[in-house]
Amino acid sequence: MKPVPHRNPAPIPICDTQEDRDHRHATQLLNACMSYARLILRRYGQLAPFAFAMDREGQVARETLDIPRLPRDPARLWKLLSDHIVDRVRRGRLQGVALCAYVTLTEPSAEGYSEALILTIEQESGHALQVTVPCKIYGGQLRNLLPRRIALGKTQAEEIDPQLFAHGGPRPAPGFS
């Protein structure tokens, strides 16, 4: 039997700055939200507001509400979800949150898409982003004989003031489609 050569583990960065951690955590939350949004849009062609959160151990999971019947109004669901997140933040259980909503844009994107995913990503460190991903759904007609396909436009991100981790409370719901 041939001995297996020993592999050196990947080097651990010595200077892992807060900015690096914020970027890495925001990317994890963004990826979780986008994977879930594409799955649900492809399957159902519509999407209710939802949230993913990162706990103290760095695990990302979708947030759920423990109520018997969810409201049909997206703005009301956004409010309930935001209140639930704020409660978990105040208890010190979360270090990062991403809230997502599927909205109609006031004017079409550069690609001509009139709908978008709006993500608000906030972290305990005070880092907060609003990410807009224009999208368009193709197919899904004829009793789903034509499969749905989701086309994404150019992602735009901008830094915003934190609301969930600041004690100001949740921001108002975006315009829903």
| Closest residue by Cα to residue 126 from 161, 84, 94 | 161
Over 80: is that where the pLDDT of 135 sits?
Answer: yes
Determine the pLDDT at residue 171: 56
Within a domain: residue 164?
no
Within a domain: residue 144?
yes
| DSSP of 138-155 | E--HHHHTS--EEEE---
Average pLDDT over residues 162-169: 72
Name the amino acid, one letter, at 95.
Q
Please report, to the nearest 10 degrees, the dihedral formed by the alpha carbons of residues 24, 29, 32, 35 taken in order.
-90
Within a domain: residue 38?
no
**Whole-prediction pTM value?**
0.81
Determine the pLDDT at residue 71: 84
Lowest average pLDDT, out of 79-83, 107-111, 132-136, 167-171, goes to: 167-171
Over 90: is that where the pLDDT of 3 sits?
Answer: no
Within a domain: residue 55?
yes
pLDDT digits (tens, 9 = 90+) for 76-130: 888 999 999 999 999 988 999 999 999 999 999 999 999 999 999 999 999 999 9
Average confidence score pLDDT of the chain: 85
Cβ neighbors of 160 (< 8 A, separation 6 or more) are 120, 128, 129, 130
Range of the domain at 147: 48-159
Domains in the chain, number: 1
Cβ neighbors of 2 (< 8 A, separation 6 or more) are none
Over 90: is that where the pLDDT of 44 sits?
Answer: no
